[in-house]
Copies of this chain bind each other. A is one copy, B any other.
Amino acid sequence: DIHAFGPARATIQGQPLSDSEVEAMDAFFRACNYLAVGMIYLLDNPLLKEPLKPEHIKKRLLGHWGSSPGLAFCYLHLNRIIKKYQQEVIFLAGPGHGAPGVLAPVYLEGSYTEIYHNISEDAHGLKKFFKQFSFPGGIGSHCTPETPGSIHEGGELGYVLSHACGAAFDNPDLIVAAVVGDGEAETGPLATSWHVNKFLNPARDGAVLPILNLNGYKINNPTILARIPHQDLESYFRGLGYEPCFVEGSDRPSMHQAMAATLDYCVTRIKEIQRAAREEGVTTLPRWPMIVLRTPKGWTGPAQVNGHKVEGFWRSHQVPLADVHTNPENLKLLENWLRSYRPEELFDENGTFRPELKALAPTGNYRMGMNPHANGGLLRKDLKMPDFRQYGITFEKPAQIEVENTRPLGVFLRDVMRNNPTNFRVFGPDETTSNKLNAIYEVSKKFWIAEYFEEDADGGELSPNGRVIEMLSEHTMEGMLEGYLLTGRHGFFSTYESFVHVIDSMFNQHAKWLSICNELSWRADIASLNLLITSTVWRQDHNGFTHQDPGFLDIVCNKSAKVTRIYLPPDVNSLLSVADHCLRSKNYVNVIVSDKQLHLQYMTMDQAIVHCTKGLGIWDWASNDEGCEPDLVMASAGDIPTQEALAAIALLRQEFPELKIRYINVVDLFKLQPETEHPHGLSDRDFDSLFTLDRPIIFNFHGYPWLIHRLTYRRHNHRNLHVRGYKEKGNINTPLELAINNEIDRFSLAIDAIDRLPGLQVAGAHAKEKFRNMQIEARNYAYEYGVDKPEFSHWTWPF
């Protein structure tokens, strides 16, 4: 049977609760539901001491009732478990729009008041608690950062299991309960994240306990998983490697029994799995338990409204009774609904939750609203950092030798991993080796706990103790990393540039979370999210057009300047310096763009440190304007664009030895913005002295060119700024040919310069011809041999 109503039907049999326990738990449940309805509707008369009148009701009725009872039911049953087993649990609400179902028990357990003193545990506080919900100047209707105990807002659906898994990593004593919405379960990110069970080590990590709240509906539709045969649903979760425990029905006493028995069983199973791993050294994939909780959507709410089914139907998704201001019948219905929870039995004269009921919740930091893991900054320890200078490379002269930029970073990360064996992790969608960070495996392999084959021993780099996490899901990697950081740890994520767009929306949501946290004094600082974007556009010439998209930076720039940082280190030493800085930083998303292929090396370690600290600067050795004003400013950001800009300078100086060119390299992109827009922004004075007030500037950019305009349009010399970048002209090309197609190549830049230098517009015609011929020659060579002419691809600085 796949209906949600009736006496409990459960996989795990047992009646662990006494009658009075059932009664007490149901009273707690009623209190939660009362509060949830109160939050949605009430402006005043919080305890219904007087008959309900229109003026007690909020003018604008907002909030999601349907999800709330299921969440509260889980929460209060987890409370029992916490107390019974002295078990640390945190709570993640996948359908975070059901915040009333979370805020209610958080308030009832006292956590809310402990953090927000003005929301006291009495009628006065309750009134404020109701009013502020989804109210201007108040709090949101999702499990926002303002919610004590929340590390998962659930505004955008799909990430609750990956967040939960990240939270469970390296927290061996923690159970992370994750309620999954059955609508949420239809999203791609959620659907694949059931596989988190393949990434948890029962010896070392905590457990994730997924609770699928099969309330049957989304906003306006049934859910798929609620409407397939019971046996299929069971097969599905078995196939995913779980032991599904069903708890189905609507009859409250039997449902309390069933849920309590089921949770008892799950905790026991989890502990048994962990014991086997910890004491007996079992290292095979365990069959973790999970719960399928099938309950009516809007459980305990009005069965019908105006003759239409509401409880157990999608109509209960948001505000089931709408026109309560003007329709006295509905107002009465609302009053009856509220009174059905018998508030007078739940709260004392002052409106304080009765102590014998409150006693059902744990106390202190065992309360899920106060668990320090859910305010992870409290537990955060600085990384023990090796000295990044040791991983740099040395050379005689700039721009003479080529090194794969990401490889030494891999060695550095290896030692970060070595120094921090329990609070640092590296994530990648099957690309850590492809991205040349594989030195990490010398210290820690890729985690693998599913079946092994003999051949894995030769180069597989797999281990059930590995701390590198790889799965072909950018969503899951990002979600795990977020969960790991939000619970106070550190991490690093590398991914292909074009496919980082897969997680645009996850980045957006995390950046929003961080910027709200900045304003909450009680939320402790967490480590930044460090994202290495590699296999970049300019060297995805072979994979072609689909792999060329540097537009993630445009997305990043849309988010608050307080939480966003972008770096484009052009060589090994600058990449190391930037990475070191990022790994130490807090509360940001740091985006580092650096390709993995062979690239010219420009800066010694000392130079790199100074340069990265400034964020941008003149490279003297590449400039010849010292002591005079430049005729032209050439600037660049990114590895290949820098190489081409320098080569253009060389071409120009060879043709026009008199020409004075200043070269500026930009590592920290936000330096370009005014200081009023971004904390890293250069003052106008500094910008003007670098970029001049009136000389032509040619800026060779890694990404889409207009981003540079967007950052600099307020600068004085913006009118003379000419930007080159990627403009969607790609296919199968050699690197130089791809550069030529998009006009970021040395020849195009040199021609751009000639066109913009009044003194050369006529005299430069011969040089322009020459450069054009060289472009044609380059292309012809590529078409014949499939590679660039060595003199171009292995170009070095000639002066």
Q: Which residues of B contact A508 (CB under 8 A)?
A: 498, 501, 549, 551
- Contacting residue for A156 out of B192, B498, B557, CB 8 A: B498
A-B contact pairs, 15 of them (CB 8 A): A97-B543, A135-B786, A155-B547, A219-B431, A220-B432, A221-B472, A235-B235, A237-B239, A508-B551, A512-B546, A551-B555, A554-B558, A558-B704, A709-B709, A709-B710
Is A137's beta carbon under 8 Å from chain B? yes
Contact A58 B221 (CB under 8 A): no
Interface residues of A in 427-467 (CB under 8 A from B): 430-434, 446, 448, 450-453, 455-456, 458-462
CA distance A448 to B138 in the complex (A): 40
Kindly specify which of A357-365, A522-530, A732-740 makes contact with the partner chain.
A732-740
CA distance A459 to B191 in the complex (A): 28
With A502-B505, A542-B134 as contacts: A236 and B232 at CB distance below 8 Å:
no
- Contacting residue for A542 out of B141, B221, B462, CB 8 A: B141
Interface residues of A in 145-181 (CB under 8 A from B): 153, 155-158
- Contacting residue for A459 out of B60, B315, B512, B718, CB 8 A: B315
Instruction: Give min CB distance, A224 to chain B, whole Å.
Output: 6
Contact A188 B475 (CB under 8 A): yes
CA distance A446 to B219 in the complex (A): 14
Is A240's beta carbon under 8 Å from chain B? yes
Which residue numbers of A lie inside 8 Å of B, CB to CB? 2-3, 43, 58-60, 62, 97, 134-142, 144, 153, 155-158, 183-184, 186-193, 195, 198, 218-224, 227-229, 232-241, 285, 308-309, 312-313, 315, 430-434, 446, 448, 450-453, 455-456, 458-462, 470-476, 498-499, 501-502, 504-505, 508-509, 512, 515-516, 542-547, 549, 551, 554-555, 557-560, 704, 706-707, 709-710, 713, 718-719, 728, 731-734, 737, 779, 782-783, 785-787
Contact A192 B188 (CB under 8 A): yes
Contact A546 B134 (CB under 8 A): no
> Which residue from chain B places its CB closest to the CB of A729 in the assembled complex?
B560
| Chain copies in the assembled complex | 2
With A142-B544, A188-B187, A459-B308 as contacts: A558 and B238 at CB distance below 8 Å:
no
Contact B155 A546 (CB under 8 A): yes
CA distance A315 to B459 in the complex (A): 9
Q: Which residues of B contact A472 (CB under 8 A)?
A: 157, 183-184, 186-187, 218, 221, 223
Contact B187 A430 (CB under 8 A): no
With A218-B472, A239-B234, A472-B157 as contacts: A140 and B544 at CB distance below 8 Å:
yes
Contact B137 A546 (CB under 8 A): no
Contact A545 B140 (CB under 8 A): yes
CA distance A543 to B473 in the complex (A): 28
CA distance A313 to B785 in the complex (A): 31
Contact A505 B509 (CB under 8 A): no
Most buried by B among A157, A451, A546: A546
Instruction: Give min CB distance, A490 to chain B, whole Å.
Output: 23
Contact B218 A430 (CB under 8 A): yes
Contact B187 A192 (CB under 8 A): yes
Instruction: Give min CB distance, A681 to chain B, whole Å.
Output: 14
> Which residue from chain B places its CB closest to the CB of A159 in the assembled complex?
B188
> Which residue from chain B places its CB closest to the CB of A561 in the assembled complex?
B728
Q: Which residues of B contact A779 (CB under 8 A)?
A: 136-137
CA distance A433 to B218 in the complex (A): 12
Q: Which residues of B contact A558 (CB under 8 A)?
A: 549, 551, 554, 704, 728
